[in-house]
Every structure is written in structure tokens, then in C-alpha cells.
């Protein structure tokens, strides 16, 4: 059971932890789901890969999400046992035969994605020519403007895509179309373009789809310059939907991971040493801060308990606790000039692709876990003016 505190300050009043602390704010996941329900006319699928924590999954499910995108048999098993009545979408375009077999026969999974005819043949063989499959054709799309493009790896293109759509139409009970505009997609028009491009391929194939899944990619407001208002994203999607040849009762889905989970967690780290403008902290690139080290992610940070300190804010970069020189987070992270060994920093929005990437390298990767009741540092889903995370949620 995670103990609850009003804020990181309240927690540090009674504890001075040596290890980093994962702080959970379940209300942030419910709020993100609610935003999609209010602004997006389709249904939500939660991409479990972003955050597999059981409480996070339960919170998202309680907020009204019953569909989950799973990438592996481990995720299938987790959802199967953890959320009763979950509908699973196995959206990894390349899967092993053993995993397809177990997903279909042992867990009742009927929805899969494919981006090659060979994968369709594999699924048909393994499922003994099943007649109840929903197959989503993953199409290539323009993912420019996303921070983490995925198009190099997956997505059928051109004539191959047309043939694949026709093949799936002939073999599957239901045809779906999907794409991914890249994670942290900063340009909302990419969704509209991807739908129009998919519509053109579907028309060329002379087929009609039952389902359209516009994928994940919805961005999180991490730093100035990132989209704060997500409103344009559903607008571009809804406008382009008219173009898509679909059956009259067709279903539309979005499959966010980051956008539902990022604000759910923050991380309290301790400064173990300061060398000029370099801070040695107790988590890093082999931990929850994987993206800060490997993708130069600049998470919002604040010195805990800095109220009343009149220091200038200056740029720092961080070193993680392992002996690896790659365990470096360039930032820059703006923090008060007077920061010193023994101080604690709260790093916000670490809920997406954080702990799921953490390893036990060098014996680190041990986290205490608590709940916090105060606000996140700026949010996509609420007007949070505090920079210090001290505003209590009513």
C-alpha cells in the first residue's frame, strides 16, 4: 500500500530517503482520460507499454477505458489477470508464433496488427485459419515533427500496402487500419494527413474498413514550446475522418500511452554531489530517467523546499548513479544556484516510459513508492499555474 502525502515537502519532513522515490498521482491519469472522453469522439485504447504499473492501469480502467494495446505476451498476461473484461489489441506488427498461439488460444485475443503479408499468413497458420480475427493494417505515415519517430521500423507503404489491405480484407473477419505519427508528435496536422493518406490507400485497394485506429503520439507538455493545448489534435482527426472509406457503423480509436501516463508519476531524487554546474543524482539513464539520458529529454524539475530561497536559477546537467559515463543527462535543468549535496529535486512527468525502461544496472533501480496529493508542474489537462507543485487537489 502506497502511503499518501500532501506534497514532496510533507514527505521529506518525516523522511530523508537515500534511494529515489516514485511518486504517484492517480488523479492525473483519470484527468487525462476524461480529457480524451470530452474531446475525442472515438474510443480510447491505453498503450500499456508506457506504464505497466497495476495501480496506473486500474486507474485508467476505472476512468472508463476497457481497451488496451499490448506489445508482448507478458503484457497480455498482465491485462488478462488484472482487468476483467479488458479487450486486448496486440498491436506489435511482428510477433512470434508461440506468442500469437498463446494470445489466441489461451487468452482469447482476436485483434492483431500486421504490416506485411507474411505476418498475416503466420497468424492464419498459427490460429488454424481462424475466422474471427480483426486485423489492423499498420500503414507508414509521415512522422516528421515527432520527437521519437517510429516509421523506420514499421508500416506498409505504396503498392505493398494496397495488396496487404486486399489480402487482409479477404482473410479477416474485420479490417482495421492503423498508423503511428511518432511519439511526442508536436504537429497535430500529421494525424489529419495520415488519415487522408490511409484513406487514399484504402480507396486504391477498393476495400472498406470497419475500424480506424489513429495510434498514439499525443504529446505531453514537458517544457516551454511543447503543445500546452491538445485541442487541435482531435480537431484534425475529426475533420479528416470524412475522407476514410469505412462501413457506416465503423469504429474509431486512439491509442495513447504517453499522454495518459506521463503526469501520473514524478520522481524525488537526492543530490549526492555537486561539481560546478553538474549534479550527481541518485537516478539516471539506467533508471526512470532513461529518456533524459538517451533522448536528451528535459523533464520539468524543481528543488524541493525552495520557497523563500532567493537564488538565481541556473542551468545544470545531471549524472546518474552508475559508473557508466553514458549515464549523463544534459538537460539543461534550471535549478537554484545554491543547490548542494543533500538537497532533493522533484522531477515531474516521469510516468511515461520511465520505470518500464529501468534496469538494476550497478545495483541501482531500487525505488520507494508513495502517493502525492498536490498538483503536477504544468499540465496539458488543467490550468495549473503553480510552478512548485504545492497546490493541493480538492
Ligand X SMILES: Cc1ncc(COP(=O)(O)O)c(C=O)c1O
Residues interacting with ligand X, by CB under 6 A?
A: 47, 49-50, 69, 91, 180, 183, 215-218, 255-259
Minimum distance from residue 292 beta carbon to ligand X (Å): 17
DSSP-derived secondary structure for 303-360: ETT-TT--PPEEEEEEE-SSS-TT-EEEEEEEEETT--TT-EEEEP---SSSGGG---
Other C-beta atoms within 10 Å of 131: how many? 9
Q: Which is nearer to ligand X, 110 or 180 (CB)?
A: 180
Minimum distance from residue 261 beta carbon to ligand X (Å): 8
Q: Which is nearer to ligand X, 36 or 104 (CB)?
A: 36
Sign of CA dihedral 92, 94, 99, 105: positive
Contacts of 171 (CB under 8 A, 6+ apart): 120, 124, 133, 135
Minimum distance from residue 96 beta carbon to ligand X (Å): 17
Q: Which is nearer to ligand X, 87 or 362 (CB)?
A: 87
Other C-beta atoms within 10 Å of 214: how many? 30
CA distance 350 to 25: 11
Contacts of 295 (CB under 8 A, 6+ apart): 147, 148
Minimum distance from residue 264 beta carbon to ligand X (Å): 13
The answer to whether 306 touches 336, Cβ cutoff 8 Å, is yes
Residue with cell 559508473: 323
Q: Which is nearer to ligand X, 114 or 259 (CB)?
A: 259
60 by DSSP, 3-state: which?
helix
Q: Which is nearer to ligand X, 143 or 327 (CB)?
A: 143
Q: Which is nearer to ligand X, 50 or 304 (CB)?
A: 50
Q: Which is nearer to ligand X, 47 or 57 (CB)?
A: 47
List helix spans (H) across the chain. 8-14, 26-39, 54-62, 73-82, 97-101, 117-126, 158-171, 189-205, 232-241, 258-261, 290-294
Minimum distance from residue 32 beta carbon to ligand X (Å): 11
Minimum distance from residue 342 beta carbon to ligand X (Å): 35
Minimum distance from residue 242 beta carbon to ligand X (Å): 24
CA distance 303 to 274: 14
DSSP state of 370: E
Minimum distance from residue 112 beta carbon to ligand X (Å): 11
Q: Which is nearer to ligand X, 79 or 345 (CB)?
A: 79
C-beta nearest to ligand X: residue:
216
Q: Which is nearer to ligand X, 49 or 349 (CB)?
A: 49
Contacts of 340 (CB under 8 A, 6+ apart): 271, 274
Minimum distance from residue 226 beta carbon to ligand X (Å): 13
CA distance 74 to 142: 30
Strands 301-303 and 174-178 turn out to be: unpaired
Amino acid at each position: 500500500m502506497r502511503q499518501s502525502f500532501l506534497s514532496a515537502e510533507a514527505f521529506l519532513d518525516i523522511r530523508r530517503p537515500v534511494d529515489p522515490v516514485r511518486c504517484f498521482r492517480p488523479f492525473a491519469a483519470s484527468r487525462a482520460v476524461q480529457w480524451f472522453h470530452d474531446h475525442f469522439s472515438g474510443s480510447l485504447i491505453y498503450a500499456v507499454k508506457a506504464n505497466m504499473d497495476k495501480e496506473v492501469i486500474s486507474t485508467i480502467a476505472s476512468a472508463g477505458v476497457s481497451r488496451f494495446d499490448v506489445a508482448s505476451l507478458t503484457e497480455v498476461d498482465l491485462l488478462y489477470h488484472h482487468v476483467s473484461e479488458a479487450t486486448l489489441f496486440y498491436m506489435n506488427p511482428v510477433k512470434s508464433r508461440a506468442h500469437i498461439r498463446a494470445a489466441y488460444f489461451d487468452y482469447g485475443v482476436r485483434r492483431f496488427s500486421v504490416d506485411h503479408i507474411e505476418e498475416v499468413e503466420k497468424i492464419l497458420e498459427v490460429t488454424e485459419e481462424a475466422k474471427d480475427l480483426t486485423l489492423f493494417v499498420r500503414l507508414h505515415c509521415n512522422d516528421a515533427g515527432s520527437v521519437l519517430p517510429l516509421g523506420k521500423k514499421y508500416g506498409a507503404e505504396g503498392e505493398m500496402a494496397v495488396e496487404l489491405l486486399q489480402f487482409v480484407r479477404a482473410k479477416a473477419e474485420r479490417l482495421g487500419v492503423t498508423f503511428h505519427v511518432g511519439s511526442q508528435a508536436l504537429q497535430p496536422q500529421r494525424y489529419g494527413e495520415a488519415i487522408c493518406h490511409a484513406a487514399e490507400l484504402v480507396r486504391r485497394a477498393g476495400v472498406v474498413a470497419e475500424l480506424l485506429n489513429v495510434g498514439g503520439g499525443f504529446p505531453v507538455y514537458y517544457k516551454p514550446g511543447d503543445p500546452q493545448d491538445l485541442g487541435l489534435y482531435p480537431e484534425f482527426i475529426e475533420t479528416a475522418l470524412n475522407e476514410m472509406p469505412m462501413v457506416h457503423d465503423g469504429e474509431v480509436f486512439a491509442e495513447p500511452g504517453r499522454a495518459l501516463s506521463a503526469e501520473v508519476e514524478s520522481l524525488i531524487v537526492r543530490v549526492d554531489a555537486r561539481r560546478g554546474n553538474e549534479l550527481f543524482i541518485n537516478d539516471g539513464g539506467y533508471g526512470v530517467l532513461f529518456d533524459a539520458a538517451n533522448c536528451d529529454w528535459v523533464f520539468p524539475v524543481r528543488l524541493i523546499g525552495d520557497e523563500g530561497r532567493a537564488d538565481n536559477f541556473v542551468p545544470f546537467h545531471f549524472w546518474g548513479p552508475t559508473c557508466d559515463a553514458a549515464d549523463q543527462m544534459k538537460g539543461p535543468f534550471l535549478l537554484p544556484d545554491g543547490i548542494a549535496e543533500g538537497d532533493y529535486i522533484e522531477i515531474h512527468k516521469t510516468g511515461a516510459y520511465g520505470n518500464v525502461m529501468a534496469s538494476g544496472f550497478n545495483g541501482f533501480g531500487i525505488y520507494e513508492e508513495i502517493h502525492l496529493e498536490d498538483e503536477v508542474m504544468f499540465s496539458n489537462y488543467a490550468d495549473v499555474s503553480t510552478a512548485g507543485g504545492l497546490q493541493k487537489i480538492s
